[in-house]
């Protein structure tokens, strides 16, 4: 038979098996004890090495703050130097801590040592052995003992799956048997943490222990609660038979068998396994994930139903296989010939009662377990009518849950079902269907000419977000600080919460101010008006610029907003005054008249006069510039 792995896939079997590797015989010297005696974060003293694996080293340690023994798992340096792995390891440690169940090894603390930079996980210290050591010592276990151990394992898995956590590496090494009889499952989530690390150099690197890998893990690397169910089914197979169902010359050959061969019933290897238990192991290890129990909780319910139906002699028969048979000398009974037939009859009656009770127990267990239940057909992505028809044909009724939007399932098709496809449901029971409402799309509202505040509120009312910064553009038609348009445009359909950018007006675009200095006022006004400016006029006298000609303007250059005002300074020509006639007036009066007009006055008086102006220069009626001196001749 040819053996090949899927393209791009490498096997990394038993990547983290520190739970089974002891410090005495399997650890490299030097590396094993490198941290013994160190105090992590001034709290956890690493006393001695317990085990070492592909990811981490486990130490027996003392919590010096609480004075209690703990187990500290310290990540290897190569992994601790990878920030992505450390971040994922932290998240997985927190997720593991959320799994609250007596059957799960408790997580007390997690951190990164400040001195060494090594990530570590502080866990409950469990004194005892692991399930691998038990199998190596005892071999195949009696069905009742195997079921009892698996019940604890499945309780741990049920709690983990309910918390949304997938173990990914169920194997005997990760099941701890405490000295006080407790069963604990360890190492939740660590395989997932390694899978996300940058150290996964080969595309499609497969994380897990090859003997317990589900086919979908080998083919695609995907894992969910059903892959844990597969591994747990293989583990139950091993407990009942003493070895895993597949072996081979290489990990690749074992993985090949998981993908291409059905796990045989354990009864094909050992005898004395009840049919109901045999069938459950086969169902838990189906190659099709949908054919297995849905998760750890479903597997546990099935196992408890099987446990109730186990024959009373099952444990006794299987135990004889594993333990030495003792030969006890037979003691002959007292001779009472007449009483013998009566005792034989009593023995027959007692035997008959035992057989009847056993049959009733088997029948009751079957009725309480498999008989009352059936599998719900898978109806996902079917139309409602087709789903109801399929479920009705299976003897089941339906009810509708509120419809829900979906990005993947078309409008009017089944989005969810409860129980899920192939899940257990009472015969004649009800399957709840959630139907897709199709894509949830929110329309971008029309926001042109709205203020930014109003536009923002309308977008939020529509279930959309607003970009933290808007784009600003000039507009000939939209007022400044109001919305021109949106990006995406109005009417576009977007997912809820999608961000929309507002394009906001900066007003009309600026215009270059032309130089109209030296132009006639009328020409300058016409030029500016054509460019969209308003014009204001200021007139001043000028001795150098002709009347009606622009002396200057403001702004003098650069750009200005269209519609803004340009102020023109226009010449009124020279400031000219017509000299009044002040002859015959008293000097004081004449002087007042001339100075009021802006003229300067100089007098020349002759003796013997009466103090009145006889003549003036310039003469009356002559036009002179303001500030000209007028001479008065007084007699």
SS3 531: coil
- The whole-angstrom separation of Cα 610 and Cα 586 is 9
Q: What are phi and psi of 505, to 5 degrees?
A: -75, 135
Angle at 231 between CA 225 and CA 233, to 5 degrees: 105
Task: From 338, 237, 323, 245, select the one nearest 280 (Cα to Cα).
Answer: 237
- The whole-angstrom separation of Cα 272 and Cα 242 is 14
Which residue's structure tokens are 């923002």? 456
Q: By the 8 A CB rule, do 483 and 501 touch?
A: no
- The whole-angstrom separation of Cα 128 and Cα 516 is 102
- The whole-angstrom separation of Cα 177 and Cα 351 is 38
- The whole-angstrom separation of Cα 315 and Cα 274 is 10
Q: What does DSSP assign to residue 290?
A: G
Q: By the 8 A CB rule, do 193 and 89 touch?
A: yes
- The whole-angstrom separation of Cα 444 and Cα 29 is 67
Which residues make beta-bridge pairs with 494? 442
Q: Is 82 a catalytic residue?
A: no
Catalytic residue among 113, 169, 278, 295: 169
Q: Which two tokens stand for residue 469?
A: 């910064």
DSSP 454-516: HHHHHHHHTT-EE-SS-EEE--SSSPTTBEEEEESPTT-EE-TT-EEEEEEE--SPEEEPP--
Q: Is the peptide bond before 235 cis (omega within 30 degrees of 0)?
A: no
> Which residues are known to be catalytic?
169
């Amino acid at each position: 038979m040819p053996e090949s792995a899927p393209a791009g896939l490498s096997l990394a079997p038993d990547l983290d098996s520190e739970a089974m590797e002891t410090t005495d015989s399997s650890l490299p010297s030097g590396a094993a004890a490198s941290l013994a005696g160190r105090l992590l974060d001034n709290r956890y003293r690493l006393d001695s090495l317990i085990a070492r694996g592909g990811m981490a080293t486990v130490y027996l340690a003392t919590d010096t703050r609480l004075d209690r023994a703990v187990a500290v798992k310290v990540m290897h340096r190569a992994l601790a130097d990878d920030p992505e792995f450390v971040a994922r390891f932290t998240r997985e440690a927190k997720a593991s801590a959320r799994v609250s169940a007596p059957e799960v090894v408790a997580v007390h603390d997690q951190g990164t040592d400040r001195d060494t930079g090594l990530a570590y996980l502080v866990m409950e210290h469990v004194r005892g052995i692991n399930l691998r050591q038990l199998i190596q010592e005892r071999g195949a276990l009696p069905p009742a003992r195997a079921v009892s151990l698996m019940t604890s394992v499945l309780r741990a898995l049920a709690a983990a799956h309910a918390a949304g956590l997938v173990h990914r590496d169920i194997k005997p090494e990760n099941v701890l048997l405490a000295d006080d009889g407790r069963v604990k499952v360890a190492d939740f989530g660590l395989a997932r943490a390694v899978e996300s690390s940058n150290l996964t150099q080969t595309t499609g690197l497969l994380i897990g222990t090859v003997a317990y890998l589900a086919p979908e893990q080998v083919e695609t690397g995907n894992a969910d609660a059903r892959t844990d169910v597969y591994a747990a089914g293989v583990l139950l197979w091993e407990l009942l038979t003493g070895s895993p169902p597949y072996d081979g010359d290489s990990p690749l050959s074992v993985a090949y068998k998981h993908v291409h061969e059905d796990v045989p019933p354990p009864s094909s290897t050992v005898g004395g396994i009840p049919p109901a238990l045999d069938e459950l192991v086969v169902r838990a290890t189906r190659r099709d994930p949908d054919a297995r129990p849905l998760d750890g909780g479903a597997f546990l319910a099935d196992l408890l139903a099987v446990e109730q139906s186990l024959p009373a002699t099952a444990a006794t028969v299987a135990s004889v296989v594993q333990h030495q048979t003792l030969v006890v000398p037979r003691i002959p009974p007292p001779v009472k010939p007449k009483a013998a037939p009566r005792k034989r009859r009593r023995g027959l009656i007692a035997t008959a009662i035992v057989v009847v009770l056993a049959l009733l127990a088997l029948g009751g267990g079957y009725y309480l377990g498999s008989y009352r239940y059936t599998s719900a057909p898978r109806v996902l992505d079917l139309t409602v009518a087709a789903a109801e028809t399929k479920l009705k044909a299976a003897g089941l009724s339906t009810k509708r849950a509120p419809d829900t939007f979906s990005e993947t399932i078309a409008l009017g098709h089944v989005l969810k079902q409860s129980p899920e496809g192939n899940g257990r449901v009472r015969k004649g029971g009800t399957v709840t269907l959630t139907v897709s409402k199709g894509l949830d799309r929110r329309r971008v509202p029309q926001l042109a000419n709205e203020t930014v505040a109003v536009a923002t509120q309308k977008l939020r009312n529509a279930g959309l977000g607003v970009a933290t910064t808007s784009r600003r553009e000039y507009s000939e038609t939209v007022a400044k600080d109001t919305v021109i348009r949106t990006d995406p445009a109005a009417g576009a359909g977007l997912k809820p919460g999608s961000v929309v950018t507002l394009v906001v007006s900066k007003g009309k675009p600026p215009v270059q101010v032309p130089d109209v200095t030296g132009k006639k006022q009328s020409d300058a006004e016409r030029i500016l008006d054509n460019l969209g400016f308003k014009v204001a006029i200021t007139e001043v006298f000028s001795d150098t610029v002709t009347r009606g000609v622009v002396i200057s303007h403001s702004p003098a250059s650069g750009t200005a907003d269209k519609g803004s005002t340009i102020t023109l300074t226009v010449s009124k020509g020279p400031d000219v005054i017509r000299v009044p006639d002040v002859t015959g007036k008293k000097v004081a009066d004449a002087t007042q008249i001339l100075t009021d007009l802006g003229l300067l006055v100089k007098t020349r008086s002759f003796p013997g006069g009466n103090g009145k102006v006889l003549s003036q220069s310039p003469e009356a009626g002559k036009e002179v510039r303001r500030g000209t001196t007028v001479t008065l001749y007084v007699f």
